Structure 1
Amino acid sequence: MRQTLIEKIDLFIEQALSLQLSQTGRLPLTIHDPEWPSECLQQPSESGHQIPWKPVLQSPDNNSCHDMLDRLEAALGYSIHQDLRTWYSRYWSDPLPATSDWGDLSLLFLWSEKDCERLRGNLIGHLLTKQKQKQPATLFFACTEPDGEKFLSIDNQTGEVWLEQPGKKPIMKLADSLEAFLGKLTPKPIPDME
């Protein structure tokens, strides 16, 4: 049976957490910043101290991500691919590391509702550049590691996953869909933030 995109995302998150716990015996740590609260944080802490975190399902009645994407569509005048809507509205999380046949990468997520506007601004900038260069609209969801010089995106028309470099045409098609692409990824341990 073919798994849905939501099932693939859930499976990747489950595998990433399982790997983390088996290799370190604990959740990853991040520096607590009271300016950037998140449901991902697992215990209260003082500002500047390390605190455990983990990816957390967004509430089904959380509309902040959907509202942000609706406003993005209104600004652009066209619809955003459903796979990208699903991707950014499924989990709150810091970026998660993974490896693939094409190298290491970092999967991007939203940390909190406050993060939605930052993402919207970045997506608008990216899409306006694509429009100016008369290239097909793509929407990023990951970047390459360790340099971060390239990124992975979803073609807004076809849903295909592409490797890109800022300001240039897509370099290489990696998968026919985000669902297929996730099936080719292996999670890596999540580094602590210092």
Structure 2
Amino acid sequence: MQNQVVTALAALFERYQRNYGQPLAEHDPGEPSPAGQLPAHQGKVAWHPYTRAEPGSFDNLAQALNMPVHPSLPALFGHYYAGHLPLCYKGMFITLLQPWNDADFERLQQNQIGHQLMQQKLKLPATWFIATCRDERRLITLDNVSGAVLLERLGQGAIGTLAPDLATFLHRAEPVGPHAYHLTP
């Protein structure tokens, strides 16, 4: 399954570039990335997915939380440095998260631990966030047991299943240009 996720993510990056050209990311000069290219304009930088020489590991997450981590999570976040990607999934505008550099990868892991601790505190099933929604009370998550992609309401758990697995979700997601986020929700 892990290779299917990496392949689906690479195909998603290609679809975005084919439809909209080089994606843009907010640019912080203090946070360079091997994915970043020349500054574009208005504080943004053009980027391309940068394949990591060694995939990032989530073993520290598994150890810190004393639980296994679904293999789709490191497949999604451990193989590339990239900017976040605007997508549409079944009519819902979302932003697929991606680590920008080593420091961002570490922050992502820390935030995943925080999310998981909150899930445990609320006695909710183990999930990992993978994308944000326009409605900040919702997020897209990966079920740690089944690997299904879920729509979740913060603090309340899953609202529904979006896809049976992450590879299917990535194949079905449609890239959207940055202009889509300026529309009313």
TM-score, shorter chain, exceeding 0.5: yes
Identity of aligned residues (%): 30
Alignment match, 2:31: 36
Which residue of structure 2 lines up, in the alignment, with residue 5 of structure 1? 5
In structure 2, the partner of 1:58 is 51
- Spell out, residue by residue over 1:104-158, the C-alpha distance to the aligned partner (whole angstroms, 9 max, x if none): 110000010010221122111110111112221000100112x333111111011
State the structure with more CA Rg.
1
Q: TM-score, normalised by structure 1?
A: 0.82
> Structure 1 residues 95 and 29 mapped into 2: Cα distance closer, same or farther (>3 Å)?
closer
Q: Aligned ranges for residues 143-158 of structure 1 at < 5 Å?
A: 143-145=132-134, 147-158=135-146
Structure 1 residues without counterparts, runs of 5 or longer: 22-26
Question: Which of 121, 146, 167 is the matching residue for 2:155?
Answer: 167
Q: Which has the higher strand share?
A: 2
Structure 1 residues 70 and 49 mapped into 2: Cα distance closer, same or farther (>3 Å)? same
Number of residue pairs the alignment of both structures matches: 176
In 2, are the aligned partners of 1:144 and 1:152 still within 8 Å (CA)? Answer: yes
> Counterpart of 2:29 in structure 1: which amino acid?
P
Please tell me the residue identity of whatever aligns with 1:151.
Answer: L
Q: Which runs of 5+ in 2 are unaligned?
A: 180-185
- 1:183 matched to which residue of 2? 171
CA distance in 1, matches of 2:13, 2:146: 25
Q: TM-score, normalised by structure 2?
A: 0.86
> Any idea what SS the aligned residue of 1:109 has?
coil
Which position in structure 2 is the counterpart of 1:24? none
- Cα distance in 2 for partners of 1:15, 1:182 equals 11
Counterpart amino acid of residue 47 in structure 2: K
Structure 1 residue identity aligned to 2:70: H
- Change over 3 Å in CA distance of 1:164–1:102 after alignment to 2: farther
C-alpha contact 2:25 2:84 (8 A) present in aligned 1: no
Describe the shift of the 1:139–1:31 C-alpha distance in structure 2 as closer, same or farther (beyond 3 A): closer
Q: What SS does the aligned partner of 1:42 have?
A: strand
Shift of 1:99: 0.6
